[in-house]
Amino acid sequence: MSASVPNNSGEVPTVVVSDSKGSDLLCFLEQLIPLGDKEYALMTPVDTPVSLFKLRENDDPELIETIASSEPILAVADVVLQEHDLTLLRSAVTLTVTGELEEPDPEELEEDSIDDESETYELLVSFKVEDHEYGLYIPLDPFFVVAQIVDGQAILVEGDEFDKVQPLIEAELEEREPLH
């Protein structure tokens, strides 16, 4: 985003976002958005966000939206990622991966990517757990996190509150965009 909030050294500041379960996610602070008497932040994860899908033969992959951090599937994913010198983090909002990721080859993207609703994902790794195949996919669209800034702390905006503030934040961002 061009409207990032750089500090004096020109770097985008990082902020730790906490969710209601006490999980954290390190993010780049992209924009501050005041709405009424509250201040919100639009951020992107520092590490690469990934989504877990259950792969099914002759059918579209199924996105697994909620998964316990102790789930055995994630233990297998940990081992598979370690073979690629990557580490799976159980972060607030999303799973993330740290390490050196290879840039995707545009020719391979089509065969290893999936479209789920309006988002496109690229396959990072696939693995089997108890006769089921799973894949960790990287979203190719930007992954934004919305947090409220309370006493200098970034608190993840979740559930009903997110549904209420999302259109207000989008409207504010559209107002900030210069007209062409």
Mind listing the pLDDT tens digit for each residue in 85-100?
999 998 888 899 998 8
Q: Could you count the other beta carbons within 10 Å of the beta carbon of residue 75? A: 11
Same domain, 31 and 107: no
The predicted model gives 45-59 an average pLDDT of: 89
Confidence of residue 67 (pLDDT cuts 50, 70, 90): confident
Q: 8 in a domain, yes or no?
A: no
Give the phi and the psi of residue 78 in degrees, each rounded to 5.
-55, -50
* Residue 29 within any structural domain of the chain: yes
> How many structural domains comprise the chain?
2
Q: Is 24 in the same domain as 93?
A: no
Across the range 34-61, mean pLDDT stands at 90
Tens digits of residue pLDDT in 4-26? 344 455 677 899 998 888 889 99
Q: Are residues 59 and 40 in the same domain?
A: no
- Three-state DSSP at 170 gives helix
Shared domain for 84 and 135, answered yes or no, is yes
pLDDT-based confidence at residue 103 (cuts at 50, 70, 90): low
Same domain (yes/no): 146, 65? no
Q: Structure tokens of 97?
A: 């991966």
Domain extent, residue 155, equals 14-45+142-176
Percent of the chain with pLDDT over 70: 82
**Average pLDDT of every residue of the chain:** 82
Let me know whether 62 and 112 are in one domain. yes
CA distances, 28 to each of 15, 25, 78, 128, 167 (Å): 6, 10, 25, 33, 22
Residue 73 φ/ψ, nearest 5 degrees: -60, -40
**Same-domain status, 52 and 125:** yes
Residue 130 lies in a domain: yes
Q: How confident is the model at residue 1 (pLDDT cuts 50, 70, 90)?
A: very low
Residue 5 in domain: no
Predicted pLDDT of residue 11: 77
Let me know whether 63 and 91 are in one domain. yes
| Beta carbons within 8 Å of 19's beta carbon, 6+ residues apart | 25, 92, 93, 156, 158
* Residue 114 falls inside a structural domain: yes
Residue 170 domain-assigned (yes or no): yes
Torsion of Cα atoms, 150 then 90 then 64 then 48, to 10°:
80
Give, as one character, the DSSP assignment of residue 75.
H
* 94-103, 132-141, 162-171: least confidently modelled range: 94-103
Q: Quick one: 85 and 131 in the same domain?
A: yes
Is position 2 within any domain? no
pLDDT at 63: 87
> 174, 1 in Cβ contact below 8 A?
no
Looking at residue 17, its pLDDT comes to 93
58-78: average pLDDT: 83
Residues 71 and 21 in one domain: no
Residues 35 and 55 in one domain: no
Claim to verify: residue 28 and residue 59 sit in the same structural domain: no
Please report where in the chains the tokens 């233990």 appear, as a residue: 75
Q: Does some domain include residue 124?
A: yes
